[in-house]
Amino acid sequence: MRRYRDLLRTPGVLRIAVPSLVGRLPIGMLTLLFVLVVAAGTGSYGAAGLATAANSALTAFVGPVLGRLADRGRAVGVLVWCGLAQAGLLVGLVLALRGGGPAWLAILLAGLAGAVNPPIDPVTRAVLPRITRGPEQMRTAYALDAIAVDLTYVVGPAVVGLITAVADAYVATLVAAAVTVVGSIGLATAGPVRRGWPAPPPNRRRVSPLRSAGMLVVLAVAGLASIAYGLLEVAIPAHAALEGHAHQAGLLIAVWSAGSIAGGLWYASRTFRTPPWRQYGILMLGNVAGFGVILLQQNLWSLALLLLFAGLFIAPTTTLEFTLVAQLVPDESRAEAFTWANTSVYLGFAAGSALAGTALAPVLGTPDGLTIAGACAVGAVALGALLAWSARGALRVSPD
């Protein structure tokens, strides 16, 4: 914990970390909220699924554009205006649904809310290398950031559950809108963000992050791993329902995230001589083992223990992905690079969820459903591990 204490005492870090965490809470809230409010307002879970898909898809496709604007000196404006616009669209969604609006309008508003999703993740990750002290502290910062992502998916749904217990999903959506504004404006007004990004050297043009072979490798590996996550986040609730404990699905996912948090805390506390590009391959092999042991589950108790083990590799791998992106891309293109990383994760997760909901739909909820979905997940992660090892030469390249 000493490393985290030293990190948070570094000037500017806490000022970035707090609003970044606050601004990301709605990410863990909105997927659940779109299902709840759209289904309640339209009476259709199909419309709720389309609204969620539209939100994720437009977040994935528009994100790199917002990241590019941030890299060009407009980070403050992008954060402020996107935060306000998304909050306004969420309020509009609530008003439309409470007024009996049609399903297509709810889908449209949810999609537009995704298009203006504030680029809090990429801006935070682009700023961190400029305010941390050396590679080790930067790795600790990225580990903390990965842990913050996991906390988002634990705390966000819990907040939704608490608010809906005392009020309803509409109120929870309005709270998410308010939190979005607070987090976005809080990050936008932080000194490291207001100072902006350095311009590229006079003899170097601004280059797209996708021109880096190493960056493409990281995007592909992250996308393949996200397919596995998307598969299991559908298969695990279906299996819990089969076991007669559907209400425990959220707890199982939370245990998975808890394992990731523990792994991230441990990883950032160590000093490794192995270079990041080699660590990446090793940790991807660890993820293959983590997904593989899930196939050994016998009941929900054993599944929870195996998910705790599987989660140990997630945050360290994510930390390394952040580190590699920061090393592979010039400083003036980092925000866009991190939005592409988010896009890869969103698209991979969507592909895994779609695979679970189509090709694997007949077997999910059967005794063999989790085993079959888990085997597919292992295959996706194994392919990612193979790519991380076979293309490791590209990951050794530095933009400088």
Give per-residue pLDDT as tens, 307-362: 999 999 999 999 999 989 988 988 788 889 999 998 999 888 888 877 887 788 78
- Say what the pLDDT of residue 271 is: 81
Q: Among residues 79, 275, 56, 52, which one has the least CA distance to residue 192?
A: 79
pTM over 0.85: no
313 vs 195, higher pLDDT = 313
Q: What are phi and psi of 125, to 5 degrees?
A: -70, -25
The DSSP string of 63-84 is: HHHHHHHIIIIIHHHHHHHHHH
Q: How confident is the model at residue 400 (pLDDT cuts 50, 70, 90)?
A: very low
Residue range 278-293: average pLDDT?
A: 95
Per-residue CA distances from 356 to 223, 248, 370 (Å): 16, 20, 10
Q: Among residues 78, 86, 69, 75, which one has the least CA distance to residue 181?
A: 86
Task: List pLDDT tens digits, range 292-301.
Answer: 999 999 999 9
Q: How confident is the model at residue 15 (pLDDT cuts 50, 70, 90)?
A: very high
Do 247 and 237 form a contact (C-beta atoms < 8 A)? no
Q: How confident is the model at residue 133 (pLDDT cuts 50, 70, 90)?
A: confident
- Name all contacts of 245-250 with Cβ < 8 Å and 24+ positions apart: 245/300, 248/300, 250/157
- The two three-digit tokens of residue 74, written as one number: 């407009």
Percentage of the chain exceeding pLDDT 70: 96
- Say what the pLDDT of residue 385 is: 96
Residue range 92-98: average pLDDT?
A: 94
- The two three-digit tokens of residue 197, written as one number: 């990004």
- Say what the pLDDT of residue 203 is: 65
Residue range 3-19: average pLDDT?
A: 88
Q: Among residues 24, 14, 55, which one has the least CA distance to residue 179?
A: 24
Q: How confident is the model at residue 202 (pLDDT cuts 50, 70, 90)?
A: low
Average pLDDT along the chain: 87
pLDDT value at 9 more than 60: yes
Lowest mean pLDDT among 98-107, 130-139, 173-182, 296-305: 130-139
241 vs 301, higher pLDDT = 301
pLDDT value at 90 more than 50: yes
- Say what the pLDDT of residue 332 is: 80
